[in-house]
A and B are shown apart, each in its own frame.
Chain A
């Protein structure tokens, strides 16, 4: 797929730029950020300047005005080098910004999207709760209308950018007993947990945003992978949210986030595929350097077959992911394709990184080689933005629905 089926010359220019950025600025710091579980503020600033934090949004909203394929290319390229940087782009763009672009009023878009699209502040998305993950309908956070505002109570967990972010879309029940039709979404704002750093770098904070009283982030999760990405809980204690911050209509929260997750899944597919491709590139190169029994290990059929299998699966994954992105871009229903791409590519990332470590042998098990980090980064792809099990449910539901139609 080098490269005409989906890609224009402009797509390739975008890919080359991100590749250069990822190799030049991300690769040298990825291992250290992972070890320290440190959020990559300096690179976030550079990504903002390059336009990587608002890729698909219109220029009048501060975005780069590119298409969805360009956006997927960026996530994919970044993940070849470092998944934490890739998820920063993806969570900020798809989860933190797209709901406002897609469901917001003109005033909401004008107020929040330029801040997000330029990378001035980071955004996030709060859906998952301690007792509501895959089963989003069990959301317990509540929002009660009182005059000109809602009073928000509850908590969210595993929220990407929970600490570093300032603008969040969160779901809460506005009509108890109405099931998924009783869930609404809100735009809520707080100060970044890294104020000193954000002020030093001139990014990540905007004074004009309200720091809503009672809205706080919890302790940073100590994770297996995606360690340079910031994951925390969000807590809401009698937070007064102005009624104008309701996103979409009351009761539309569930439908809206289902749509958001469809796009998110293509992004996670692109990210997972990037991890697999990165681990494969390292393994291929390593196999031509490492000698055992007087030969390069790439001359052994046992290694060759593994490389051939991985390459074949990666090629299949590329087609699934870029085809899902292409369908989304061309406004065709893509829920099934997104779930298929996400399921296949995330499991591929896991399989590939396991094999990559095996090809590297003992060295692959150490932090001297990046495949160890890639292996840890891959696992969450089978869980986040819908587990593999949920992807299978979505796929099956679509199949049965197609049959009924």
Chain B
């Protein structure tokens, strides 16, 4: 099988973000970056398919400036075979522009399966996978939490509100990966060593003029400190009163 996985370099979400001087981007100072978790699970899914199907090849693709090579190398150190950087000065906010640039590369690869994370936590659009599928004219299953491939077709599970959906699809197909599909492996030291020698191609991004632009970023309003009304049953009437009159939620 030929499998492509599109990955994005995202900031570690476990920090306080500051808005940059331009008011439309996040201040990158002090941020730590790593592969998007959903994309890491997509890489893991590809590697598991590769382990089961001898002769498979996993290609990792990332759009962005040269720092994304680090993200690609991480996927290579996990076990992917080759990487492609679609070089752009920055990653546009407009998912369609990203999808067009990626699909221009993807359509030349002859892939049986194209995997994306279902979203990235930095822009939270969740559109690049489905848009790329549309541009490539391929079936698309989003937010999968299980995956089987056999005899040229696939079966995947999707978690719905209070239910699960089992879907079947032919190959080639585009899938976007949700939490719960797997746990991404850590790269072994051998993997890290091997990643250095794996091919990483750099190609210019064919980026269309973005149709969506960010005009302004704002931090959420500071939450007010909580208030302890009292303790035990005696405090309940006052709590109810405040919930009715002040918070107006009852």
Beta-carbon contacts of A107-137 to B below 8 Å, as 1s and 0s? 0000000000000000000000000000000
Whether B74 pairs with A13 at a CB distance below 8 angstroms is yes
Whether B186 pairs with A10 at a CB distance below 8 angstroms is no
Interface size class of B (residues with CB under 8 A): 10 to 19
Question: Known: A13-B74, A13-B77, A16-B34. Is A59-B190 also a contact (CB below 8 A)?
Answer: yes
Interface residues of B in 188-210 (CB under 8 A from A): 188-190, 192-193, 195-196
Give the distance to chain B from A58, nearest Cβ to Cβ, in Å.
11
Decide if B8 is an interface residue (CB 8 Å cutoff).
no
Chain A residues whose CB sits within 8 angstroms of the CB of B158 once the complex forms: none
Whether A14 pairs with B186 at a CB distance below 8 angstroms is no
Whether A52 pairs with B189 at a CB distance below 8 angstroms is yes
Interface residues of B in 157-201 (CB under 8 A from A): 186-190, 192-193, 195-196
Decide if B27 is an interface residue (CB 8 Å cutoff).
no
Main secondary structure of the interface of B (DSSP, over half): helix
In the complex, the chain A residue whose C-beta lies closest to that of B70 is A9
| Max chain B C-beta neighbours (<10 A), residue from A13, A21, A52, A65 | A13
CA distance A66 to B187 in the complex (A): 14
Whether B192 pairs with A49 at a CB distance below 8 angstroms is no
Question: Known: A10-B192, A13-B195, A14-B192. Is A21-B186 also a contact (CB below 8 A)?
Answer: yes
Known: A13-B187, A59-B190. 11 other contacts (CB 8 A): A13-B73, A13-B74, A13-B77, A16-B34, A17-B186, A21-B186, A50-B188, A59-B193, A64-B189, A64-B193, A65-B193
CA distance A276 to B103 in the complex (A): 49
Number of A-B contacts (CB under 8 A): 44
Give the distance to chain A from B34, nearest Cβ to Cβ, in Å.
7
Chain B residues whose CB sits within 8 angstroms of the CB of A52 once the complex forms: 189
How many A residues face the partner with a CB closer than 8 A?
18
CA distance A14 to B193 in the complex (A): 9
Whether A51 pairs with B73 at a CB distance below 8 angstroms is no
Whether A17 pairs with B196 at a CB distance below 8 angstroms is no
Give the distance to chain B from A203, nearest Cβ to Cβ, in Å.
15
In the complex, the chain B residue whose C-beta lies closest to that of A70 is B189
Whether B186 pairs with A55 at a CB distance below 8 angstroms is no
Beta-carbon contacts of A17-45 to B below 8 Å, as 1s and 0s? 10011000000000000000000000000
CA distance A49 to B196 in the complex (A): 20
Whether A49 pairs with B189 at a CB distance below 8 angstroms is no
Question: Known: A9-B70, A13-B74. Is A66-B186 also a contact (CB below 8 A)?
Answer: no
Chain B residues whose CB sits within 8 angstroms of the CB of A64 once the complex forms: 188-190, 193
Give the distance to chain B from A191, nearest Cβ to Cβ, in Å.
28
Whether A66 pairs with B188 at a CB distance below 8 angstroms is no
Chain A residues whose CB sits within 8 angstroms of the CB of B192 once the complex forms: 10, 13-14, 17, 66
CA distance A55 to B189 in the complex (A): 8
Chain B residues whose CB sits within 8 angstroms of the CB of A14 once the complex forms: 189, 192
Whether A9 pairs with B189 at a CB distance below 8 angstroms is no
Chain A residues whose CB sits within 8 angstroms of the CB of B70 once the complex forms: 9, 13
Give the distance to chain B from A176, nearest Cβ to Cβ, in Å.
44
Chain A residues whose CB sits within 8 angstroms of the CB of B196 once the complex forms: 10
Partner of A50 from B34, B74, B186 at Cβ < 8 Å: B186
CA distance A125 to B210 in the complex (A): 64
CA distance A218 to B192 in the complex (A): 40
Chain A residues whose CB sits within 8 angstroms of the CB of B77 once the complex forms: 13, 17
Chain B residues whose CB sits within 8 angstroms of the CB of A66 once the complex forms: 189, 192-193
Closest 7 CB pairs of A and B: A51-B189, A64-B189, A50-B188, A51-B188, A13-B192, A51-B190, A17-B186
Beta-carbon contacts of A50-85 to B below 8 Å, as 1s and 0s? 111001000100001110001000000000000000
A/B interface sample: 6 pairs, CB < 8 A: A14-B192, A16-B74, A21-B186, A51-B189, A64-B189, A66-B193
Give the distance to chain A from B232, nearest Cβ to Cβ, in Å.
25
| Max chain A C-beta neighbours (<10 A), residue from B70, B73, B190 | B190
In the complex, the chain B residue whose C-beta lies closest to that of A8 is B196
CA distance A66 to B194 in the complex (A): 11
Chain B residues whose CB sits within 8 angstroms of the CB of A21 once the complex forms: 186
Partner of B186 from A20, A59, A65 at Cβ < 8 Å: A20
In the complex, the chain A residue whose C-beta lies closest to that of B78 is A17
CA distance A14 to B195 in the complex (A): 12
Give the distance to chain A from B115, nearest Cβ to Cβ, in Å.
21
CA distance A401 to B177 in the complex (A): 64
Chain A residues whose CB sits within 8 angstroms of the CB of B190 once the complex forms: 51, 59, 64-65
Give the distance to chain B from A65, nearest Cβ to Cβ, in Å.
6
CA distance A50 to B193 in the complex (A): 12
Partner of B189 from A16, A20, A50 at Cβ < 8 Å: A50
